[in-house]
Amino acid sequence: MSKHNPQSLTFKSLLLDNPFGLLVALLIGIVGSLAAVALLGISGWFLSAAGLASAMGTAFTFNYFTPGALVRLMAILRTAGRYGEQVFSHDHLLGLLRSLRLWIWDQRVNTPLNQVHRQTKGDLLQRLVGDLDQIIKWPLAVVMPWVYGLLGCIALLTLGVWVEASLVWPIITYSIMQLLCLPWLAKQLAMSSVYSMQALSVHRRSRFMSVFSALITLTIRGHWQHYSERLTQLDEKQRKLQAQLQRVTSLVKLLGHTMTLLLVGVMFALCLSVENESLAIEPTISATWLVALVLATLGVNELMQPIASAFLAQGQSKVGLKRLNQLQRSVLETADKSKSLPSIKSLNVRNFAGSHNDVVSSALPSVNFTISSNEQIKIVGASGAGKSTTLAALAGDLGYRGEVRLNSAPVSVYDNSCWREKVSYLSQQSVIFQQSLRSNLLLGKPDATETELFDVLQLLGLKTWVDALPSGLDTLLGGQGRDISGGQARRLCLARILLRKAPTLILDEPFDGLDSDSVDRVCKALERPLYKPQFLIYVSHIDSPLDRHSALVAL
C-alpha cells in the first residue's frame, strides 16, 4: 500500500502491512485465550481433586500449593493477555488505519481532475470514513477470534486424548462445526443483508447530509415533511436489516451453545458406564480430569462466541475493500496519456467556454483570442459571465468546449500534465498550506535557493515583513493563511508562481486585496526579464499598469 506500488487492497495486503505488530497482538491474545481455558480446566481439576481428597481422608497430605499457584498464574495470564491484546491490537489497527489513509491519498494524488471533481461532490469523505472504519475491524473481529478458536479446539483435543482416546472424533467434529460449518451457515443466511445494509447506510448518510445542509430552505418551502418521511423509511429499512442480522447472529450462537452441550453429553456418554443400575466413571478415566475437560469445553465455547458474529465484520470489510478498489480503478482507467508539447510560439483559442460540470452549457459565453510571444491579454466581462471559469479551463483544471491551438496545432489542455508544465496559474482563492513560509514558496520551485526566495519577496514587498519574523522563512503559517493578511497571502501565492518561471502565466484577480503600491510592485515584477512571462492572460477588476500593454478580450 505505497505510492511506489499502488496495489489493489486485499485481505492479504492488510495482514502483511505490519505483520510483526499483528503477530505480537496475536501471540498475546493466544496466551490470554489459552490461559482462560486452562484456568477453567485447572480450577475444575483442583476443586474436584481437593474435594475427593477430603472425602477420602487425605486432605492433610494433598498438595494444595502447586495447583493453587497454577490457578493464580493462569488468572494473571488471562487478565494480562486480554489487556495486552487490546493494547497491541489497537496499536496495530491505528498503524493499519494510517497506511490505508496514505493509500487513499496516493490514489487521490494520481486521480485525473475530471474524476476529482466528480468524487468531491456528494458524500465521498463520509463514504471513505465509513469504509475505513469497517476495514480496520477485520483483523480484530475476523482473523484473531478464528485463530483463538482454532487453538482452543487443539488444546481441547489434546486434553481429550489425555482423558479418553475415544473422545478424539467427537471433539474434531465439534471443532469443524464451530469453525467452518456455522460461519458458512451465517454467511449464507445474512451476507446479502450485510451488503444491503452497507449500501443503505451510505445512502442514508448522504440523505441526512443533504437534508441538514438545506434544512432552512426545505422548511421555508414546505418540503420538510416529504424529506422527513423519506428519512423515516430509510430508518425503518435499516432497523429491519439490523433485526435480521441480529436474528442470524443469535441463531448461530444458539447452535454453537447447543453443540457445546451435545459435546459435553457425548463426553459423559463415553466416559460413564452403568454398574449396578447406577452411573459410574470408567475405571481407566480420572474423575478429576473429566471435570477439567468439561470445564475446558465450556471455556472453548466462550472463545467460539465472537466467531458467530465474524461474518458481519467479514461482509462489511469486503464491501469496504471493493469500494476503495473502485477508487483505484477509476484512477488507472483514466491515466494521463498526454504527449510532450513543443515550445509555445502562439496560442489560438476559439469558441472557448469552461464549465464546472462534465456537460458544458451552450448558453455560457465563449471567448476568442490569439496571443503570440511577449503579448498580454486581459479578459473582461460582466460579473458572473464566467471569467474565472474560463481561466481555470485554460489552465487545464476544468472541462471546456471549443478549441485550443498551440502553434496552429490542436491540443487538449484539460488535465494535460505536459500543458501544465508550461503554465503557472493563480486561482482566485489564495491557497496557503499549513507549512513553513519557505515550504509554501518552494512549491513553485523546489530547488530554489534562499537568495532566489528573498529576491522574489523583495520584489513583492514582503522581505521586510519576513525579516521581522522571529523564525524568518521557517515561520509556520496557518492553513489557508488564516494568521496573515489577505494581501500577504496573495503576494505569497504570486511569489510562488513567479519562482516557477513558466512561459505562460494565467492570473485570476492577482491584485485582489493589494494596495496601490503593492499593485505597482507586482506589475514591475512581471516586467523584470527574470520573471516576465512569454504569454500573460489575466482577469482583474482593478486597473493597473499592466492594462496599458494588454489587449482587451470581451467575454
Query: Where is mean pLDDT largest: 233-237, 283-287, 473-477?
Result: 473-477
Q: Which of 512, 541, 542, 506 is CA-nearest to residue 526?
A: 506
pLDDT number for residue 191: 76
Q: Which residue has the higher pLDDT, 273 or 60?
A: 273
pLDDT number for residue 2: 46
pLDDT number for residue 168: 92
* DSSP element (H, E) containing 535: strand 535-539
Q: Output the DSSP codes for 160-204.
A: HHHH-GGGHHHHHHHHHIIIIIHHHHHHHHHHHHHHHHHHHHHHH
1 contacts: CB under 8 Å, gap ≥ 6? 7, 9, 13, 17, 99, 100, 102, 103
State the pLDDT confidence band at 119, using cuts at 50, 70 and 90. Answer: low
Q: Which of 441, 501, 495, 499 is CA-nearest to residue 472?
A: 441
Give span(s): CATH 3.40.50.300, the chain: 346-554
Q: What count of other Cβ atoms lies within 10 Å of the Cβ of residue 189?
A: 17
CATH superfamily, with its number, for domain 346-554: P-loop containing nucleotide triphosphate hydrolases (3.40.50.300)
Checking if the pLDDT of 4 tops 50, the result is no
Checking if the pLDDT of 114 tops 80, the result is no
Q: What count of other Cβ atoms lies within 10 Å of the Cβ of residue 444?
A: 22
**In angstroms, rounded to a whole number, what is the distance separating the alpha carbons of residues 255 and 250?**
9
Number of H helices, E strands in the chain: 20, 11
State the pLDDT confidence band at 130, using cuts at 50, 70 and 90. Answer: low
Q: Grid coordinates 500573460 are at which residue?
A: 536
pLDDT number for residue 63: 78
pLDDT number for residue 216: 54
Angle, to 10 degrees, between the axis of helix 182-213 and the axis of helix 124-135?
150
For residue 411, give Cα distances in angstroms to 114, 132, 367, 408: 17, 40, 17, 9
Residue type, 345: K
Beta bridge partners of 274: 279
User: What CATH number should be reported for the domain whose range is 11-187+260-333?
Assistant: 1.20.1560.10
Query: What's the mean pLDDT when you consider all of the chain?
Result: 80
pLDDT number for residue 226: 63
pLDDT digits (tens, 9 = 90+) for 287-327: 888 888 999 999 899 888 888 778 777 777 777 777 777 66
* DSSP element (H, E) containing 52: helix 19-56
**In angstroms, rounded to a whole number, what is the distance separating the alpha carbons of residues 266 and 174?**
11
Q: Which residue has the higher pLDDT, 54 or 107?
A: 54
Q: Which residue has the higher pLDDT, 105 or 467?
A: 467
State the pLDDT confidence band at 60, using cuts at 50, 70 and 90. Answer: low
Q: Which residue has the higher pLDDT, 378 or 242?
A: 378
If phi > 0 it is left, if psi is from -120 to 50 it is alpha, else beta; for residue 234 that is: alpha
Q: Grid coordinates 469523505 are at which residue?
A: 125
Q: What count of other Cβ atoms lies within 10 Å of the Cβ of residue 101?
A: 13
Average pLDDT over residues 47-57: 78
311-334 in b/e burial notation, b at 16+ Cβ within 10 A? Answer: bbbbbbbbbbbebbeebbebbeee
**In angstroms, rounded to a whole number, what is the distance separating the alpha carbons of residues 230 and 224?**
10
Average pLDDT over residues 6-15: 68
pLDDT number for residue 231: 72
SS3 92: helix
- Work out the angle at residue 302's Cα, subtended by the Cα atoms of residues 296 and 307, and round it to the nearest 5 degrees: 130
State the pLDDT confidence band at 454, using cuts at 50, 70 and 90. Answer: very high
Give span(s): CATH 1.20.1560.10, the chain: 11-187+260-333
- The grid coordinates listed for 347 are 496560442
Least confident of 91-105, 154-168, 188-202, 214-228: 214-228
pLDDT digits (tens, 9 = 90+) for 141-199: 888 888 999 999 999 999 999 888 889 999 999 999 999 998 888 888 877 777 777 66
pLDDT digits (tens, 9 = 90+) for 321-370: 777 776 655 544 444 445 678 888 889 989 888 876 555 555 568 889 99
Q: Which residue has the higher pLDDT, 186 or 227?
A: 186
